[in-house]
Chain A
Amino acid sequence: MSVADYAQRERVQLAGATVVALLIAAAVFTFVFDIALERLLTVGFLTRSLEMATPIALAAIGGLYAEKSGVFNIGLEGFMIFGAFSAAATMYLLGGTSPSQLDVWLAIAIAVLISAILTVFFAVLLIHFKADQIVAGLAVWFLGLGFAPFTAAIIWGSRSSPGLESINSLAFGQSPLVVLTVIVVLASWVFLYRTKYGYWIQAAGENPEALDTAGVDVNRVRYATVIFSGAMAGLGGAVLLAHAGNFVGTGETMVDGRGWIGIVAYLFGNYNPIGAAAAALLFGGLDMLNVQFQTVGIEVSARLVNLLPYAAVIVVLTAWGKTRMPSSVGEPYESED
């Protein structure tokens, strides 16, 4: 069976199972709760789900690139926290508590830059100093959980920011950041599967020796993808903040596991950017079901409904846990010469 066949079968399987799951859910709602589906599946629900999916999808794209090239960036969650916080802090420094739309866009750009710079240090530790990728990635999460609220407390005197500004919707009610994410998803698919550099990334993860023999520096490819993954996670965090309009640093911060869900999204999407984005949409939709339940009057605790994405992640991982990882993930590469 060729690789293409394999990928094709995976995709059919995935799509089939998702459709079946959605049909069952729909049947449960119509017959058990006696609720008309058109009231549950509204345009507003789609809009909110897309907004919720974008941060997850962006982080997933980043993580996917790093892992394709052979480095497991488990620090996505941490970089998302840094991204969200830097965006909030930049917005506040530029425009106080009433920043302009330009400030919001600038804040997103600067947050991506800061996340990328932080990821350079992380990449050096992983690639040059051969750090334990799992432990170092966890450390990034802890650093985010500590330093983002710490700096927030210095700036605002509290772990969370005051109300800042969220991004304006486009004419048809969609966030421009959703559009941006769709472009990023498509571009990253084309780059990965249709360009020379994309093949380098895949080779760095599957067969680094061959890439080295072909005269390409494996570690340079890996530096590029890891830094890209941190920047994407930072963008995801900044987008989350731009939709929410304020930074929350209590508990596990406003990122609240979305980086971890991003990892599952690209596993579920079988390392394909488009598949990862589709999986992110599934998790985003589950995250927003809460609002739908309230509007149709289903009496379920919001706190319980909010746990659905986490439960879905466990189900997905168990059903699709055995995705085919790139063969050299987690192994530092040392050139022979």
Chain B
Amino acid sequence: MSSGVGRLRTGLDRAAAKMLDATVLERIGIAIGSTALALLIGLVIVAASGYDPIQFANQLVVGSFGSERAIARTLRYSTLFVLAGVSVAIAFRAGVFNIGVQGQFIVGGFATVVSIVSLAPYLPDGTIGGVALMVIGTIAAIVAGGLYAALPGVLKAYGGANEIITTIMLNFIAIGFVGWLVAGRFGDPEATATRTERMPDTVGFPSVVFDDPNLSIVGILVTVVVVVVVAAVMTRTSFGYDMVTSGYQESAATYSGVDAKRMIVSTMTFSGMVAGLGGAIFAIMIQGYFTDPSGIGNYGFDAIAVSLLAANNPLGVVPAGLLFGGLESSSSHIQINSDVPVQLIDGIVGLVVLFVAVPELFRMIARRTGLGGESR
């Protein structure tokens, strides 16, 4: 018994030390530092490749916030990054590395389209039918995303399979399998591109406030609600408390009676549900049908960077998601208005993740430059 208490104590001590080690301010500093350093290196690479870095920086700003259209586009991408980022944050906070958000997002969005297209003939036309279809489609996405994430959770908890690798494999499988379905069984024979049938016109969010067919205040509201609910669950409920404790100090959580294996499965399911919801928003608000998932954008992968920038805090995901929405938005702008290959933005995202992984680097810079002075 005494050894158990002893271990709990050292565990709590270590957790406390960790908290002191990285205060909120320090985390914000690291996030801003990582982003700034990554962008700076990006500009150096632009210059080294023979393009004009100032023009490129200008296009980054213009393409993300320069016009009403750009702002609407930024917000549209931001909703997806925030939802996917919250999904990652839930898992990472609980110490489970769900790298499979991309796959859960795809499976969720596909479930939305399939359920809506197949049920549409049985429901009345008009607004009521449309709303009913959207509710059903969203629930289908949440269930599908949750189940697709629960699988690696079960394999980790009861089979000991490393979730980093299983979720990455499940991403490849989701892309291949859904791609196969979109091209075959669920493909629209009349469409020129590889895609499913279009969902009925009654399915779609109203365009109020923003004059952009692919952005709706409804999508933004759903996102805000999800952020608030997840933040509340994680900080104000015993489920959330157990989840976060098992992430920071597994032995302490076990000692207080948490079933670690079930916690892994619940965490993954919760995380996948949010990812699936993101897929639903993507299908309903943006696409209107589902295309080959190998080309839909890496929302679920970039969400890892979003969550890490936010120190895996659901509220912090909002500014980080806006930043990534802006980057994505400006990359559509750059693709049209610049010769710089747009893949550079993906590289910059990689640099952000790399720097976030090395807080010690920034502590050293802070010590050398005297910035953040008394923190040590």
Give the interface of A toward B (CB within 8 A).
74, 125, 129-132, 134-136, 138-147, 149-150, 153-154, 159, 249, 251-252, 256-257, 260, 263-264, 267, 301, 303-304, 306-307, 310-311, 313-314, 317-319, 321-322
Contacts and interface: CB of A to CB of B under 8 A. Distances in A.
Contacts of B301: 142
Nearest to B159: A318
Contact of B169 (A144, A304, A313, A322): A313
Contact of A321 (B162, B345, B364): B162
Contacts, number: 139
B149 to A, nearest CB: 14
Interface string B289-329: 00000110000010011001000000000000000000000
Contacts of B169: 257, 260, 310-311, 313-314
Contact of A143 (B170, B295, B304, B351): B351
A318 B308 CA distance: 28
Nearest to B361: A129
A245 to B, nearest CB: 22
A314 B170 contact: yes
Contacts of B165: 260, 263-264, 313, 317
6 contacts: A129-B360, A147-B347, A304-B180, A310-B169, A317-B165, A322-B160
Interface string B105-124: 00000000000000000000
Given A154-B341, A314-B169, A134 B97 contact: yes
Contact of A142 (B295, B341, B349): B349
Contact of A303 (B179, B347, B348, B358): B179
A115 B346 CA distance: 20
Contact of A130 (B305, B343, B350, B360): B360
Given A131-B360, A134-B164, A321-B160, A142 B305 contact: yes
B289 to A, nearest CB: 20
B343 A149 contact: yes
Contacts of A132: 357-358
Nearest to A267: B162
B172 A74 contact: no
A144 B156 CA distance: 28
Contacts of A143: 347, 350-351, 354
Contact of A304 (B156, B177, B295, B308): B177
A139 B353 contact: yes
Given A150-B347, A321-B162, A139 B357 contact: yes
A129 B358 contact: yes
Contacts of B366: none
Contact of A125 (B172, B173, B361): B361
A145 B184 CA distance: 29
Interface in B158-186: 159-162, 164-166, 168-170, 172-173, 176-177, 179-180, 183-184
A303 B350 contact: no
A313 B180 CA distance: 20
A145 B349 CA distance: 10
A177 to B, nearest CB: 25
